[in-house]
Amino acid sequence: MTDVRVSTRDVQQFEGDALAVGVFSDGATLQGPAAALDEALAGVIADLIASGEVSGAADEVTLLHTLGKIEPTRVVVVGLGVREKFSAERVRRSASLAARTLRRAGAHHMGLALAWAASGVNLALAARAATEGALLGLYEFTRYKAPREGKPQKAIETITILGRGREPALRAAVQRGRILAESANFARDLGNEPPNTLTPTELGERARAMAAEVGLACEVYGKDWMREQGMGALLGVNQGSVEEPRFIALRYSGGAEGAPTLALVGKGITFDSGGLSLKSHEGMLDMKMDMCGGAAVIGAMRALALLKPVVNVVGLVPATENMPSGSAYRPGDILRASNGKTIEINNTDAEGRLVLADALSYAVKQGCAPIIDAATLTGAIGVALGAHRAGLFSNDEETQRAVEQAATVSGERVWAMPMDEEYDRLIRSEIADLKQSGGRLAGSISAAKVLSNFVGTTPWAHLDIAYTAMRGARDAEGEGGATGYGVRLFAELATLYASRRGE
C-alpha cells in the first residue's frame, strides 16, 4: 500500500527517485517549486516553455530525465491550466496524472510539489486533494490478474507532499485525504468484484469484516427478518434469484445518544440482468456494478469510523440479485412495501427503486433524518447529465443545499433536478398506490418520484449515480470500472452535519 508523507523541505533537497511539479498555462515566469527545480536542472523547464513544448495546459504531462543533476532521476511537469481557474479538483487530477505517469516510468518514491503556494487554493485543502488524487489515480483492480512474468512490479511506495506550511496542519490534511481515498478505493474493490463472487451474502461478509476492523456496529439480516419487516418489494426482486438477499445495517455513533441520526442508503443489486424484462447483451455488461450506491455507503461508513466526526450515522444497503427464472417477479405483479404502500410492477428492470422503497421505509421507521440515498438507478440520468455529474433529487431545500455543499468540497459533482408535483402523474396506477415506472420521458425524475413515496415528510435527498459510479475506460483520473463516487461526498456531508450540530 502506498504511504503518504509530508515534507516542508525545498524540492532541491528531496531524496526520492522522482518529482512532480506543476506549471500554469499563463506563466512565462516559473514560480515556486517549479522555478527552484528549473534552476537545479540548468533551465530545461524554462527552455521547454520557450519552445512551446510545455504550455501548462490542463492535463498536459511532460516527463524529463534529470541525468544526474539532482537526486531524483525523473521529473514530471504537469500542466495546471489557467491560474484563475485553479481549484482543489485541478490539484486532484494533476496529482493523479503525475502519480500514474511516474509509476509507468518505474518510480517508487515520488515527491509532489504542485504550485499551490502561488495559487488561491488553501494549502491544507490542496495537500488533502493531492493525496486523494494520487491514491485514487494509482488504484488498480489486480486481484484476478497474474503479474506478467519477467516484468518488474511497478508500484509507487511512498508519496511525499512537499509544501511550505505548518507541518501538523499539512499532516492532518494528508491523513484525512488518505482515509477518504482509501475508503473510496475500498468501495471500488466492491464495485469491480465480479458478480459470481460478490453475491449479496459476500457483500454482507465484506461489510461485516470491515466493520470489525474499524469498530463499527454491523447487522446483516436475511429473508426471515425481511418477511417480519414486511419488505415485500425487496423480497419481490429477490424472488427470481437463487442467491439469498441481505439487508446490511452499519452504525457509527459519534454523536450524543438521542441526537439525530443521518441515514445513508445505497442500492445493492449485485447483478442486474433486468429480470423477466431482460436487458440486452450490451445493457447487461456493467451490471455487476449495480451495487455501487451500496458500496459508496459502506465505504463512507469506513471513512467515518476513521475520521470520527461528532455525529450519528447509519448506513443501510438492501442487497439482492435481479434475475429471471420461473420464480421471478413479473410485470403485472403488485408488491407491498414495508410502509404498506402497493406498487404495480410494469418493468422488472426497474428493480432499484423497489429495494430502496423498503430500505427508505426502514430508515423512516428508525426515525433517521435526513435520509440520503445513492443508486445506479436510471440510464436516463446519463442521457441528461453524462458521466460528469450525478442527478440530485430532494424534497427539502436545506438538505439539497447541504448535499451541494458537500459535493463542492469533495469534487464529486451533482446537479439538482426538478421534482414538481406535475411529475407525480407519471407513476399513477389504476389498481395500486403507485406504478413502478413512468414512461420514456423524464425517466430519472419519475424514478425519484417513486422513491419519494417511501420517505414521507422526512427530509431526503437522492443521488442517481448510474453514470458517475462507473468509468467506461481509463482516463486522466484513473482506471476504468468503479469510481467510488459518493464515498467522499457522503463522508463530507456527515462531517458538515457534525460541525453544524456542534454550533
C-alpha dihedral, 296 to 300 to 303 to 304, nearest 10°: -170
For position 323 contacting ligand BES by CB under 6 A, the verdict is no
- Name which of residues 369 to 398 contact ligand BES (CB under 6 A): 376-380
For position 350 contacting ligand BES by CB under 6 A, the verdict is yes
Minimum CB distance to ligand BES smaller for 189 or for 349: 349
For position 87 contacting ligand BES by CB under 6 A, the verdict is no
For position 290 contacting Zn ion by CB under 5 A, the verdict is yes
**12 vs 41: CA distance, rounded Å:** 10
Q: How far is the CB of 36 from ligand BES (least distance, A)?
A: 47
100 part of the active site: no
Could you tell me where the DSSP H helices lie in 193-287?
200-214, 223-229, 232-238, 281-284
Q: Which does 347 bind (CB under 5 to 8 A by kind): Zn ion, ligand BES, none?
A: ligand BES
For 440, the grid coordinates are 420514456
How buried is residue 42: exposed, middle or buried, by Cβ count under 10 Å (0-12/13-18/19+)?
exposed
279 part of the active site: yes
Task: Exactly one of 5, 279, 330, 413 is catalytic; name it.
Answer: 279
For position 273 contacting ligand BES by CB under 6 A, the verdict is no
Minimum CB distance to ligand BES smaller for 237 or for 371: 237
Which residue in the set 202, 321, 333, 351 belongs to the binding site for ligand BES (CB under 6 A)?
A: 351
* String of DSSP letters for 143-210: TT-PPPTTSPPP---EEEEE-SS-HHHHHHHHHHHHHHHHHHHHHHHHHHS-TTTS-HHHHHHHHHHH
For position 272 contacting Zn ion by CB under 5 A, the verdict is yes
Minimum CB distance to ligand BES smaller for 55 or for 347: 347
Q: How far is the CB of 11 from ligand BES (least distance, A)?
A: 43
Q: How far is the CB of 185 from ligand BES (least distance, A)?
A: 21
**225 vs 223: CA distance, rounded Å:** 5
- Name which of residues 461 to 490 contact ligand BES (CB under 6 A): 466
Minimum CB distance to ligand BES smaller for 4 or for 380: 380
CA 143, 149, 154, 157 torsion: positive or negative?
positive
Minimum CB distance to ligand BES smaller for 210 or for 265: 265
How buried is residue 442: exposed, middle or buried, by Cβ count under 10 Å (0-12/13-18/19+)?
buried
Which residue in the set 333, 344, 349, 492 belongs to the binding site for Zn ion (CB under 5 A)?
A: 349
Collect all residues with Cβ–Cβ distance below 8 Å to 453 and sequence separation of at least 6. 341, 357, 433, 434
Q: What Rg, from alpha-carbon coordinates, does the chain have? A: 24
Do the beta carbons of residue 38 and residue 11 sit within 8 Å? no
List the catalytic residues: 279, 353
- List interacting residues with ligand BES (CB under 6 A): 272, 290, 347, 349-352, 376-380, 437, 443, 466
- List interacting residues with Zn ion (CB under 5 A): 269, 272, 290, 349, 351-352
